[in-house]
Structures are given as structure tokens and as C-alpha cells.
Structure 1
Amino acid sequence: MLDRVDFVPVFFAPFVSAPMVVDPGWVDYNDHLNMAYYNVLFDRAMDEAMLLVGLGPYYVRHKGASYVTAEVHVRYMRELKADDPVRVTVQLLDFDDKRVHVFQQLYHAAEGWVSATSEQMALHVDLMRKKTAHFPTDILSRLALMKQAHDRLTPPEGAGRRIAMPPRPA
């Protein structure tokens, strides 16, 4: 990972993570990727995307702040197996002075189908005070650049969904 922030990022729409592989140790007794490790893959992709915004290890060390997940909604659509190659897309849906709202899609990298989606709200946090804090101006500027690029994308199917039982027959 980059350990510097003195660059002008280019934001692809959507952001596409580096290739990853389903670790055989992540496969459960059902012979597919355990649900916890979907979140590992989404988290790694989010870290890559936020690094371009300036939120990475350098930021934590020098600013004493970071971002943390406040809420997440994962949909599992198709199972992954050991050694499957994957990539994750990250689409910035919105942000404000303390929050980032993203939608991610986990793809089988060789076959192109979507395995899962993750919608996430992350908070900017002052690590010393353990409280939410305003993003600094430079981070807000980069988030605005990312949002401008991602605004060209269509809203992802599934964004804003809630969990609920289907209506009962009358």
C-alpha cells in the first residue's frame, strides 16, 4: 500500500480492487466461503479505495484519525469456493463531513458473476477521543472528486434495501 498522500488520485467509476483469491482456510463445512470472510474481502477493497482518498496507515499515524464501519448490509447471491479469484467494486453513493456511504459488489474475477453485495456506512473517527469527527478539507476534496466520478454510474440495484419478512398471505 502507498504510505504517502502527496499525489492527486484518479478515480475510476467504480473503483475496482486488486485481484484476490478465496483462501482455502476460509471455506466452511458447507464447502463454500464462510460468511465472515465475505466481509474480509469487502473490507480489503474498502481499504484500497479509501487509501486513494488519503485514509490509510499514513493518515492514522500522522492525524490520529481513521474511518470505521458503523453499519453494513451484505447480500449473498452466489457461493464462492476455495481458490476462486475475486475482485470487488466500490461505488461511493454519498458522503458528508463525517460519513461515507458506499456500495460494493464482489465478483468472480474469471467468470464475471456477482457473488455478493455490501452496502456500508462508515464514520470518520478521532482515535484519541474515540468520537466521530469532521473530515479535514483535503479528504473532503478527494471524496468530492470520487463522488463526481461515481455520479456517472447508475444507482446499484439493491442499494437502500432493508431486511424484512415478505408480507403474509391474507
Structure 2
Amino acid sequence: MQAPFQSTVMTVKPEWIDFNGHLNMAYYGVLFDMGADQMFEHFGFGPDYQSRTGNTTYAAEFHVRYIRELHVNDQVIVSYHLVDFDEKRLHSFQELRHADGWLAATGETMTLHVDQSGPRVAPMPDDVLARVKGVAQAHATLDKPEGVHASIGIRRT
């Protein structure tokens, strides 16, 4: 597996464009989510995970930084870097890049593993946790992503 994981190429759809002529901010999240879904299949959180196990994942926090505008029909790729994890949580950092290589946005997420019978945060099954550990080992060799742990605020001088 690539480190960081790279999604398939995705295309910015015309209906995602706002009145300013560029990708509406909501759809950056859609693209990040679509990229994460591809990574999650490698973890074992595929489309049948909830019906098979009674578990799912919830995003507890998501922080986006908009770097450069995207436009209709732009081709993009989402990377997924597993920054940290424990038996119940995944901390990830994603980059949304134009197919030409330039950075359009970053997304940082805290994902919870949830037992739907509660619902409550619960440990991942052993087989899934083993795959998460394998990805974490591969990603541990990567440099810390620029922008991870970024905060928002007005800088005063």
C-alpha cells in the first residue's frame, strides 16, 4: 500500500460549483469523504461493515484548510495519512490535490469507531485493528504533514 494512501482520480462535478465559479466549500468535504471511504475499505470498513458487524464510524471533528480554488471538471486525488490511532479512534490528515500536483485543500479528521447498538464509541474488531496497525506502521515513516494540528484564530501583533 502507498504511504500515504492515494485515492483514485475524481472529477469536480458541475453541480458542485458555486456562484463564484469554483468548487463550493461543502464539496471539498465530499471529496475528502470519498477519498477516506477508499482508505476505509482497506481497513475493513467497507459498504457492508455496518450490516455485518453492527459497527460504523463517525467523524467527531473535521478541520479544512482551503489553499487553492478548484473548478468544474478538475481532476483531483485525495491522500490519506494516518497520523495516530487507538482501539477506538483514528486521527488522519488528508490532502486534496489537483491531478497536476498542486495542493487545493487539507482536511484533518478525528474518526470514532461506534457500536450502533448504543450508539457508543467502542473498540474496533481485532482484524480491523490489525489492518489499522499495519497502515500506521507504514505511515510512521512519513514526515509529519504540514498543517497537522493547525488552529484557527486571528493573529494579533
TM-score (norm: length of structure 1): 0.91
Give unpaired runs (5+ residues) of structure 2: none
Please tell me whether residue 142 in structure 1 is matched to residue 131 in structure 2: yes
Report the equivalent of 1:97: 87
Give unpaired runs (5+ residues) of structure 1: 1-10
CA contact (8 A) 1:24 1:82 kept: yes
Report the equivalent of 2:14: 24
Q: 1:158 aligns with which of 142, 147, 152?
A: 147
Instruction: Report the CA distance between 1:105 and its aligned residue.
Output: 0.1
What percent identity do the matched residue pairs reach? 47
Alpha-carbon distance in 2 for matches of 1:160, 1:108: 23
Report the equivalent of 1:4: none
Q: 1:37 aligns with which of 27, 32, 50?
A: 27
Alpha-carbon distance in 2 for matches of 1:86, 1:29: 21
CA contact (8 A) 1:56 1:66 kept: no
Alpha-carbon distance in 2 for matches of 1:61, 1:93: 28
Aligned CA RMSD, in angstroms, stands at: 0.7
Instruction: Report the CA distance between 1:60 and its aligned residue.
Output: 1.1
Give the secondary-structure state (helix, strand or coil) at the position aligned to 2:105: strand
Moved runs in structure 1, 4+ residues, more than 6 A? none
Letter paired with 2:142? L
Give the secondary-structure state (helix, strand or coil) at the position aligned to 2:134: helix
Letter paired with 2:88? K
Q: 1:82 aligns with which of 72, 76, 82?
A: 72
